[in-house]
A and B are shown apart, each in its own frame.
Chain A
Amino acid sequence: AQKVTQAQTEISVVEKEDVTLDCVYETRDTTYYLFWYKQPPSGELVFLIRRNSFDEQNEISGRYSWNFQKSTSSFNFTITASQVVDSAVYFCALSLRGAQKLVFGQGTRLTINP
Chain B
Amino acid sequence: DAGITQSPRHKVTETGTPVTLRCHQTENHRYMYWYRQDPGHGLRLIHYSYGVKDTDKGEVSDGYSVSRSKTEDFLLTLESATSSQTSVYFCAISESFLGETQYFGPGTRLLVL
A: residues with CB less than 8 A from B are 4, 31-33, 35, 37, 43-45, 47, 50, 52, 91, 95-102, 104-107
Are the CB atoms of B99 and A97 closer together than 8 Å? yes
A43-B106, A43-B107 known; A35-B101 Cβ under 8 A = yes
CB distance from B107 to the nearest CB of A (A): 5
Which residue from B41, B58, B90, B109 sits with its C-beta under 8 Å from A101?
Answer: B58
Point out the residues of chain A lying under 8 angstroms from B19, CB to CB: none
| B56–A47 CB distance below 8 A | no
Chain B residues with Cβ under 8 A from A45's Cβ? Answer: 43, 90, 104, 107
| A100 cross-chain contacts in B, Cβ below 8 A | 31, 33, 45, 48, 50, 56, 58, 97
**Across the A-B interface, how many residue pairs have beta carbons closer than 8 Å?**
60
Which residues of B in the span 34-56 have a Cβ within 8 Å of any Cβ on A? Answer: 40-45, 48, 50, 56
Residues of B at under 8 Å CB distance from A? 31, 33, 40-45, 48, 50, 56, 58-59, 88, 90, 92, 97-99, 101-107, 109
What are 12 sample pairs from A and B whose C-beta atoms fall under 8 A apart? A43-B88, A43-B109, A44-B104, A44-B105, A44-B107, A47-B104, A52-B99, A91-B42, A102-B43, A102-B92, A104-B43, A107-B42
* Nearest CB in chain B: distance from A99 CB, A: 7
Contact at B101–A91, with CB atoms within 8 Å?
Answer: no
Which residues of the other chain, B, contact A99 by a CB distance below 8 angstroms?
Answer: 97
Smallest Cβ distance from B50 to chain A, in angstroms? 8
Complex Cα spacing A95 to B109, Å: 25
A44 touches B106 (CB 8 A): yes
Given known pairs A43-B106, A91-B42, the reply for A50 and B97 (CB within 8 Å) is no
B106 cross-chain contacts in A, Cβ below 8 A: 43-44
- B45 contacts A101, CB within 8 Å? yes
Q: List residues of chain A with CB within 8 A of the CB of B104.
A: 37, 44-45, 47
A44–B104 Cα gap in the complex (Å)?
A: 7
B41 touches which of A31, A97, A106 (Cβ 8 Å):
A106
Q: Which residue of B lies closest to A51 (CB)?
A: B99
Minimum Cβ distance to chain B for residue A26 (Å): 15
Question: Which chain B residues border A35 with CB–CB below 8 Å?
Answer: 101
